[in-house]
Structure 1
């Protein structure tokens, strides 16, 4: 059973939809693949059938799934994700640029139970705990992006809260002996909820660039899950391809 959080202020059906959507975005659920039945999802998330149906209805309205009478629910063929690979060096160059142009401010640093998407991304067991790190990057007084990172507790034990106000997370991970070897990232869009709107100084409901990424070490262990949000006029994700 996977646990949903009833204390986040986010409806349970939205949380279920977000987990399934994340699986589609990251290729865990392929176009044309049959999804679990409503009964199976009820057992998996320990929720009522009406909650599951509301989640699936939302995904269907977004064109991500297709429900076929008497046959089941499938990932829509149109939900295929185009995967573009770029050298890790290019990503690290973007991190260096962001670091040079902005300053991190630590908002919170606490041990929590891993949310569903983090549990899946970091390949953790239900109920495992992680260190949650929330930061706001600013340029002068202007917020540029809001980032939330979750680290396995054994890795987080190498850091002190003050470290995250001075260096990029990638630098800290390398210094502690956990350099990135591979990164899987998915980019999309989101709307600013009241908390994000306050932190980023934008109107509630403003469009945000939404990037989720999982970093792996050379042994294939997932060592970091990060969720970054920022206004599109202040934060962009660039990919450079060379022939």
Structure 2
């Protein structure tokens, strides 16, 4: 089944932007030019442009036209668990905003119960689902399970700030992080929240954080747009 015309057109324009055919700050073809090129209606062209604006790829200026946005990709360095996302992005001059979608006590999946070493009699944890906005554009959905005593104690702070710095400020240092990065496709929720097409490839950073005494305190997955967020690591030869 073919996708709607406006999605097909916006995808073609997106590919031109990412390929550098339209550089940051450049004006996109006018509605009239796009109508002539794709042989579609004005409504279809406007919906295609709206898709680009929703993805943070373009911005419309009344009376002037539509322009390619300045695309800054956030880079998170994985070398040290002591360097947190908020601090790393601040060093890059990128404004980070946290938007909490869910914060509630739940019974987590069996795999998470084992990773967090939850008691079998009462295996509960706090689930937090939040969107990280980078320069006001959705860049990442973060899904985290936190130990119940920590979630209850720090509920207010966790809902408005990044998790690791909150833990550090409350004397819960992150000593070690076990992580794995893989790709996944956007489901309907991720498509809506991250403003990407359904099935779009996303980067997923699975992580379990440990505090003093090698005690696990949280397990999560950070699911990010590859055009807004990437990871960097420095490797040294073991001697």
Q: Tell me if TM exceeds 0.5.
A: yes
2:130 — aligned with what?
135
SS in structure 2 of the partner of residue 154 of structure 1 = helix
1:3 — aligned with what?
none
2:139 — aligned with what?
144
Give the aligned length: 156
1:113 — aligned with what?
107
Where structure 2 has 5 or more consecutive residues not aligned to the other structure, the ranges are: 1-77
Alpha-carbon offset, residue 167 of structure 1: 2.5
Structure 2 CA distance for aligned equivalents of residues 224 and 239 of structure 1 = 22
Structure 1 CA distance for aligned equivalents of residues 155 and 197 of structure 2 = 33
RMSD: 2.0
Could you tell me the TM-score, scaled by structure 1's length? Answer: 0.59
1:240 — aligned with what?
234
Alpha-carbon offset, residue 217 of structure 1: 0.8
Could you tell me the TM-score, scaled by structure 2's length? Answer: 0.60
1:54 — aligned with what?
none
Q: Residue 172 in 1 paired to residue 149 in 2?
A: no
1:129-156 superposed Cα distances (whole Å, 9 cap, x missing partner): 0000111011243101000111111111
Residues 121/95 of structure 1: CA separation in 2 closer, same or farther (3 Å cut): farther
Residues 87/164 of structure 1: CA separation in 2 closer, same or farther (3 Å cut): closer
Is contact 2:115-2:219 (8 Å) kept? Answer: yes
Q: Counterparts of 1:178-189 in structure 2 under 5 Å? A: 178-189=172-183
User: Greater CA radius of gyration, 1 or 2?
Assistant: 2
Alpha-carbon offset, residue 93 of structure 1: 5.0
Structure 2 CA distance for aligned equivalents of residues 98 and 123 of structure 1 = 32
1:193 — aligned with what?
187
Q: Counterparts of 1:18-37 in structure 2 under 5 Å? A: none
Structure 2 CA distance for aligned equivalents of residues 93 and 106 of structure 1 = 18
2:87 — aligned with what?
96
Residues 116/133 of structure 1: CA separation in 2 closer, same or farther (3 Å cut): same
Residues 133/93 of structure 1: CA separation in 2 closer, same or farther (3 Å cut): closer
Structure 2 CA distance for aligned equivalents of residues 215 and 228 of structure 1 = 13
* Aligned counterpart in structure 2 of residue 205 of structure 1, from 199, 203, 206: 199
SS in structure 1 of the partner of residue 112 of structure 2 = helix
Alpha-carbon offset, residue 124 of structure 1: 2.1
Alpha-carbon offset, residue 157 of structure 1: 1.8
Structure 1 CA distance for aligned equivalents of residues 218 and 174 of structure 2 = 9
1:158 — aligned with what?
153
